[in-house]
Amino acid sequence: MEGITVRFGGVVANNDVSFHCREGSITALLGPNGAGKTTMFNVISGQQRIASGSVRFAGTDITSAPSHVRARLGMGRTFQNLSVVGELTVLENVRVGASRFASYGVGSAILGLPHVARSDRRTTNVARQAIEAVGLSELSDTPASSLPYGDLRRLELARALCLSPRLLLLDEPAAGLDNTESRDLVRAIRGIRDHWGVTVLLVEHDLELVRSVSEYAYVLDFGTLLAGGATRDVLNDPAVVAAYVGHADTNTPAGV
Ligand SMILES: Nc1ncnc2c1ncn2[C@@H]1O[C@H](COP(=O)(O)OP(=O)(O)O)[C@@H](O)[C@H]1O
Ligand SMILES: [Mg+2]
């Protein structure tokens, strides 16, 4: 991201912001409410028009690429509203995601041709690996409707993973989760990076989650980049601490 500026009327939601995600890293984008995190996230995935700046992904200038092109290049994301089918099992839900890449048409599926069975097996394999990566293997055959919220978030992660993203964008993945569920989620995110080599960018304002999962962090405040670098250094930066203390509605870094 190079010099990104986004304006909504008089509000400058992102003000000349530059930062990058190192390949294979877990990076957090944080900041108080209204800082411009979600706006930046939408800029990255191609859903937000920018006033100025440029976006590069894996060596390609994608500033004017629409979001479906970015998705094809390997940008994956989860969505805030869980689009899970309650009557289907965990495996079936994830297979729905994986089968988008199945290499046969509806015609040959109806005729039951052999390569359909092969492709189905491959889809199931990919789905099972993704389910294992997020720690839901034991619940593979459980209907999604009987999963608690935290497991559903991880089911969503597994589904995003099936599309083989190079970069996974997660907007406040821990929102609404309790401590145990957050810990499981952090483990899942790390597993995805460690075993699948996926680069992760989290938009998050839970500083404890950021501290435990991300190697790098960038902080936005009123649309401007306040600090960036190794997570520990960033969270100890006096300017960052002051920004969080100045917003009573968000949590303060621990140990301050
Ligand atoms: N679609 C929009 N129209 C007008 N203003 C917006 C819009 N989206 C965001 N904003 C404003 O831009 C600023 C940044 O918002 P946002 O990116 O959602 O912050 P964050 O995700 O960090 O809480 C806020 O002042 C917000 O009110
Ligand atoms: Mg937001």
**Residue 121 resides in a domain:** yes
Give the pLDDT of residue 255: 43
From the CA of 250, the nearest ligand is 1
8 within ligand 1 shell (Cβ under 6 A)? yes
Give the pLDDT of residue 106: 52
Give the pLDDT of residue 243: 84
- Provide the residue type at 34 as one letter: G
Give the pLDDT of residue 246: 66
Statement to judge: residues 197 and 241 lie in one domain: yes
Q: Of 164, 197, 230, which marks where a domain is finished? A: 164
**Residue 148 resides in a domain:** yes
Token pair recorded at residue 212: 């435990």
Statement to judge: residues 21 and 37 lie in one domain: yes
Statement to judge: residues 148 and 220 lie in one domain: no
Exposure on the CB side of residue 194, measured as CA atoms within 13 A? 12
Whether the Cβ atoms of residue 93 and residue 161 lie closer than 8 Å to each other: no
Note the pLDDT tens digit of each residue in 5-59.
999 999 999 999 999 999 999 999 999 889 999 999 999 999 999 999 999 999 9
Which atom in ligand 1 lies closest to the alpha carbon of residue 41?
Answer: 17
Statement to judge: residues 232 and 188 lie in one domain: yes
Q: What is the DSSP letter of 124?
A: H
From the CA of 219, the nearest ligand is 1
**Residue 75 resides in a domain:** no
Q: Whose alpha carbon is nearest atom 25 of ligand 1?
A: 34
State which residues of the chain have pLDDT below 50: 102-104, 248, 250, 252, 254-256
**Residue 72 resides in a domain:** no
Give the pLDDT of residue 113: 62
| Of the candidates 71, 40, 72, the residue with the CA atom closest to the CA atom of residue 53 | 40
Statement to judge: residues 172 and 255 lie in one domain: yes
Give the pLDDT of residue 123: 85
Give the pLDDT of residue 244: 78
Token pair recorded at residue 27: 């990076």
Statement to judge: residues 230 and 217 lie in one domain: yes
32 within ligand 1 shell (Cβ under 6 A)? no
**Residue 252 resides in a domain:** yes
**Residue 71 resides in a domain:** no
* Residue in 11, 29, 203 to alter for ligand 1 test, most ligand atoms within 8 A of Cβ: 11
Give 9 Cα–ligand 1 centroid separation in angstroms: 11
Q: Of 141, 164, 187, which marks where a domain is finished? A: 164
Q: How far apart are CA 208 and CA 254, in angstroms?
A: 8
pTM value? Answer: 0.86
39 within ligand 1 shell (Cβ under 6 A)? yes
175 within ligand 1 shell (Cβ under 6 A)? no
Statement to judge: residues 192 and 237 lie in one domain: yes
Statement to judge: residues 4 and 115 lie in one domain: no
Q: Where would I find the H helices in the chain?
A: 37-45, 67-73, 90-98, 106-111, 114-133, 149-161, 179-196, 207-213, 231-236, 238-245
Give the pLDDT of residue 256: 39
**Residue 69 resides in a domain:** no
Q: How far apart are CA 45 and CA 99, in angstroms?
A: 22
List of residues 6+ apart from 20 with CB closer than 8 A: 1
Statement to judge: residues 57 and 113 lie in one domain: no
Token pair recorded at residue 61: 């200038």
| Of the candidates 78, 81, 98, the residue with the CA atom closest to the CA atom of residue 202 | 78
- The length of the chain is 256
List of residues 6+ apart from 113 with CB closer than 8 A: 104
Q: Whose alpha carbon is nearest atom 3 of ligand 1?
A: 8
Question: The domain that contains 174 carries what CATH number?
Answer: 3.40.50.300
Give 33 Cα–ligand 1 centroid separation in angstroms: 9
Q: Of 145, 164, 183, which marks where a domain is finished? A: 164
Q: How far apart are CA 174 and CA 172, in angstroms?
A: 6
What is the span of the domain harbouring residue 53? 1-64+165-256
Give 162 Cα–ligand 1 centroid separation in angstroms: 31
Query: What are φ and ψ of residue 91, in 5° steps?
Result: -60, -45
Statement to judge: residues 200 and 115 lie in one domain: no
Statement to judge: residues 214 and 90 lie in one domain: no
Angle in degrees, 0-180, between the axes of helices 114-133 and 90-98, rounded to the nearest 10: 120
Give the pLDDT of residue 116: 63
Q: How far apart are CA 17 and CA 40, in angstroms?
A: 9
From the CA of 224, the nearest ligand is 1
Q: How far apart are CA 219 and CA 52, in angstroms?
A: 20
**Residue 35 resides in a domain:** yes
Whether the Cβ atoms of residue 234 and residue 240 lie closer than 8 Å to each other: yes
Give the pLDDT of residue 233: 96
Give the pLDDT of residue 181: 93
Q: Give the count of domains, the chain.
A: 2
37 within ligand 1 shell (Cβ under 6 A)? yes
